Amino acid sequence: ETFQLVSKRDDNVCNFLEGGSLIGGSDYKLIYRHYATLYFVFCVDSSESELGILDLIQVFVETLDKCFENVCELDLIFHADAAHQVLDELVMGGMVLQTNMADILCRLQEQNKMQKAEAGISAA
């Protein structure tokens, strides 16, 4: 239903929808960005800054582009864990932790090195 709401909207309208029973009432809003065939949608409470969340989505997508070399639907389907890792570096417990893409990519590389080291130890 969320996809139906955002996909039918023209590209020249604003990227947020407020209130409504589908969204969760008047205290919530949907903020989204459309990139090629992908829609990135965040449901936030009414106190969040729309422009701040749009910037967060931009950083999220740019980081995914760096990780997957031009992210597409299949990357998100087959590597959902990696997409969640990126999101976990950006947001935790509803709070934005980091928006510096270089720092995020560095942390992801460190995590990948640790996972490879653990895989090597468990294989031995």
Residues 8-51: tens digit of each pLDDT: 888 888 998 886 666 666 788 899 999 988 999 998 888 889 99
Of 15-19, 52-56, 110-114, 119-123, the poorest mean pLDDT is in: 119-123
Domains and CATH numbers, the chain: 2-123 (3.30.450.60)
Helices 50-68, 101-123: axis angle to 10 degrees equals: 50
Residues 58-108: tens digit of each pLDDT: 999 999 999 998 899 999 999 999 999 999 999 988 888 888 999 999 999
**What DSSP designation does 77 have?**
H
User: Could you tell me the strand order of the sheet in which 38-45 lies?
Assistant: 16-18, 28-35, 38-45
Q: Are 16 and 29 a contacting pair, CB within 8 Å? A: yes
Question: What are the tokens at 49?
Answer: 């800054």
Task: Give the Cα separation of 98 and 102 in Å (integer).
Answer: 10
